[in-house]
Structures are given as structure tokens and as C-alpha cells.
Amino acid sequence: MLMKTAGQSLTEQLTERFAERIRTRLLAPGARLPSVRQCAQQQAVSPATVVAAYDRLSAMGLVQARRNRGFFVREASADTAPGSAAPRAARASTAGLSPLPSRRAPVNAAALIRGMFHTVSDKPQPGMGVFPSEWLEAGFLSAAVRRLTTSQSLQSFSLQYGEPAGDAGLRRALATKLAGCDIQADPEQIITTVGATHALDIVSRTLLRAGDPVMVEEPGWAIEFARLEALGMRVLPVPRGEHGPDLQVMARYCELHQPRLFVSVSVLHNPTGYCLRPAVAHRLVQLANQHQFHIVEDDTYSHIAPDGVTRLCALDNLQRTIYVSGFAKILAPNWRVGYLAAPADLVERLLDTKLLATLTTPALLEKALAWCIDQGQLRRHSERIRARLEQSRARSVRLALQAGCRFAAEPAGLFGWVDTGVDTDALAQRMLDMGYLLAPGALFHARRQPSTLMRINFATTQDARFWSDFAVARSGG
């Protein structure tokens, strides 16, 4: 709460609080500030103090007042450039589809990333996209590194660049691992990367050019929307349902825009937790062949996925599909080891893009990871995480329901897609005052729109204290 002090007035404190959130992107461009009355009630100050703070923010160029609507975080000038979205919107409307969004990133995906490195408090964070660090602690990681650093080969592979495609031993281990998911990939079809996001970036930079249309599931991964927008791509949002993406919408996009790529999280979809149904998967592969677009299957959550789930790359046998995954979610985030498996005729092009961006990837950590996979350490570690997550999910679901929420999708995996019954953009700001970083529903749409949904992390929302604070914030207290 704001406190009266001799050195700083309440107006100055409130101004500084909002200014810091805007500068660190915890308040995204275009976000609406609480009304004067709401803010005064939340901060326990007079309306006059709020008006004075908002006036100061306006003078600083951080917010702007809109007649009869309130105060909004100022948009960057490039975001409102004339003619950027109107023609595309008109074309999409004629097809009975939602207008294509402008090329700016309309949601603040960076806020969640910043929260990973600069936590807003010492409380468990419901909006985080990763497991708590204590869940990932594993003694075999240091053992794997010690095994390599004490060997005579350390100096030889440290004094030269690694293999362009990645450590051969790791690629062989990954080929075996993929075979367990019914994905047949030779080690020569696998390229290691600096995490899964780097793999997605390699694919985008290889297959696309600025202005190309790309289909992405909606709701979907906030960072993927922002990443594609930053590359200048035209994002075509495809509604994602319980069984899979809306194939009718995709077919219309193919007729009107000839998209080059479709990005999908088919297993434990983020944020809903849905897994792709076989019938939809078969039709999706047929659509890709008919309209000659590639599919990137982001399987980031493969380590906690149920057995026997449908994967597009297994059905397609890596013909028009590209498989992407990594280990940051389950094992060692700072090792930054990811990989992709691609059709044989694309491998050299993808490898060229990797070499131009990063040359090679660190052989030491790749060799250590290969040892962890070969010795069965990764498999046993993943089994422990899955068992712990199952228990945490049950507790979080029970507490969420007791707090008056409902689940918009059947709880599965790491995330829950929760309907709170209130505007979660406004709720996120109230909870930020209480030390919690939320992931409001608007973050998971290509175009910012009011939402009562939020994504929760089952590993960090099993504490009744969070839900008690949530109830206070939701009531506006």
C-alpha cells in the first residue's frame, strides 16, 4: 500500500508505481488503467490523488486520456501507422473470418518472460510458464558435467567449434527418443538449437519472408504471437477447440491468403491443455498436402505428456511437418538445449540459418544431456515430475473451484484455463499490487480483447493463500 512519507507524496508514489509497470511492460501498450474511482479504492487514496498521478503520467508521455473512456497506456507511433491493417481486415471480413490483426504485438508477452528473471515478490507466481526451480533439482546433472570435465577429451572439444548440426551422440539419443513417440527421424534429420524457441525462429527465418501469412492457434502461446509479429509476419489466428484447430477456418485462410506455415502445439496445448484428436490430425495433414504449407509441431511438453497421444509428425512421417522440442521445461533451463527434426530436403537450409545466427551450439552441455538420456536419468526424472504435477493439479483444481472459478477446458498438463467471471486484465493489475504476476486471457489472443479467462500454473497455485488473495482481488477489495 502507498504510505505517507516526508520524502515522497502519495501522488508521486502512485505515479512512480504506474510508470515502472509501463516501462517494464507489466502494463502493455493499449492497456486501460483502472478508473479514478477504482484506483482510489484499490490504493486507499483520494480520487484527487489518482487524478493528479494520471495527469503526471500523461505529461510524461506514458498514458493518454480518451474522452469518456478513461486513461490508456500510450501506443508506440508505429503501432498506429495508417493503412497497416485496414486492407487485410476488409479481405478477411469478406470471408466471414475475424479481421487480421495489425502487425504490432498487441499483447505483452515480454512481461511474463521478464517475470521469470525479475520476480515481483517471493510468492509463488500463478502466471509463470515453468516449473518451480526446486522441482527441477537433480543430482545427476552435476554428475553428467563432472564426467565430461574430468575427461581428457574436454580440452579437445573446448578448443574448437562443435559439429554444425549438434553433437552426434545427442542427435543419436534424440532419434531413439523420437522413435518412442512413433516419429521416425534419422540423426541426420535432427539439428540442435539454443532452446525450443530458437528452433521455432530458425524455421520461421528459413521458410518465411516479411509479410508472409502464418496460421497460429488461438488461444495460443503469447510469445509465439509476439515473435512472429516482430519478424513482420501476418498472423492468421485459428480457433483451437477440444479436438484440435478449426479446419474450416484453416481451409478458408488457404483459399484467401495461401499461408506458408501453421504453428501448432498438438500435445498439452498451451494454455488449454487439449491434445489433438486422431481424426482431426489426419484431416490436418491432408490439408497441408493439398495447399502445400508446412506444419511446425511444437512439442515442448512432451516430457509430461500422456502415453499414446497423437502427434502430427508421426502421422506425416516428417514430410510436411517439422518437429520442435527442448529440455528447459523439464531439466535444466540454463543449459538452453533444444532441437528440431525436419524433412530431409529442408535440413541443409535450416542448418544454414542456424550457422548464420549462432554458428554451432555448446558441445559440453549437449554431451552431458546425451549421457542423461542414455543412462535413463531423464526418463526417471520426468516420471517423478509427472507424479508430483498430478498431485499439485488435483489440489489447484479443488482450490480454484472453491474460489468460485470454473475450468474452460479439462485440467491437464502444467496449465489450467480458468474462467474467473471478471475482466482478468483489471484483475491482473490488482493482483500485481499484492505481489502476484497473472497471465490474463488477452495475452493468448492475436488481437487484444477483454477476457474473463486466465492461465494458471498448477505447480504454483496449490497454496490456499493465493486463492484467498485472489478472492479479495476479484471482489475489488
Name 322's Cβ contacts closer than 8 Å, sequence gap at least 6.
203, 294, 295, 296, 297, 313, 340, 341, 342, 343, 346
pLDDT band at 75 (very low <50, low <70, confident <90, very high): confident
Question: What confidence score (pLDDT) does residue 401 get?
Answer: 97
pLDDT surpassing 80 at residue 374: yes
Cis omega (within 30 of 0) for bond into 271: yes
Question: What confidence score (pLDDT) does residue 467 get?
Answer: 96
pLDDT band at 117 (very low <50, low <70, confident <90, very high): low
pLDDT band at 88 (very low <50, low <70, confident <90, very high): very low
Question: What confidence score (pLDDT) does residue 110 get?
Answer: 62
pLDDT surpassing 80 at residue 105: no
pLDDT surpassing 90 at residue 280: yes
Q: What percent of the chain has pLDDT over 90?
A: 63
Q: What percent of the chain has pLDDT over 70?
A: 90
Question: What confidence score (pLDDT) does residue 432 get?
Answer: 86
pLDDT surpassing 80 at residue 76: no
d(CA 424, CA 450): 8
Q: Fill in the amino acid letter for 358.
A: T
8 Å CB contact between 269 and 229: no
Average pLDDT over residues 142-163: 80
d(CA 32, CA 444): 18
464-474 and 377-402 helices cross at what angle (nearest 10)? 40
Question: What confidence score (pLDDT) does residue 84 get?
Answer: 38
Average pLDDT over residues 61-71: 90
8 Å CB contact between 169 and 370: yes
Question: What confidence score (pLDDT) does residue 104 get?
Answer: 32
For cell 520426468, the residue is 382
Asked whether the CA dihedral 401, 406, 407, 410 is positive or negative, the reply is: positive
pLDDT band at 95 (very low <50, low <70, confident <90, very high): very low
Question: What confidence score (pLDDT) does residue 89 get?
Answer: 37
186 vs 331: which has the higher pLDDT: 186
CA 404 to chain centre: 26
Question: What confidence score (pLDDT) does residue 185 get?
Answer: 97
pLDDT band at 87 (very low <50, low <70, confident <90, very high): very low
19-42 pLDDT, tens digit per residue, is 988 887 778 788 888 889 888 888
pLDDT band at 119 (very low <50, low <70, confident <90, very high): low
Question: What confidence score (pLDDT) does residue 92 get?
Answer: 38
3-state helix, strand, coil in the chain (%, to 5): 50, 15, 40
pLDDT band at 96 (very low <50, low <70, confident <90, very high): very low
pLDDT surpassing 70 at residue 325: yes
Pairing outcome for strands 70-73 and 63-66: antiparallel
Look at 156-165, 342-351, 355-364, 366-375 and tell me which has the smallest mean pLDDT: 156-165
Question: What confidence score (pLDDT) does residue 166 get?
Answer: 96
The kind and range of the H/E element at 324 are strand 321-326
What domains does the chain contain, in order, with CATH numbers?
10-75 (1.10.10.10), 124-129+380-474 (3.90.1150.10), 139-375 (3.40.640.10)
Look at 12-26, 268-282, 300-314 and tell me which has the smallest mean pLDDT: 12-26
407-425 pLDDT, tens digit per residue, is 999 999 999 999 999 999 8
171-202 pLDDT, tens digit per residue, is 999 999 999 999 999 999 999 999 999 999 99
CA separation, residue 462 to residues 303, 321, 402, 403, 455 (Å): 21, 37, 12, 12, 14
pTM recorded for the entire structure: 0.81
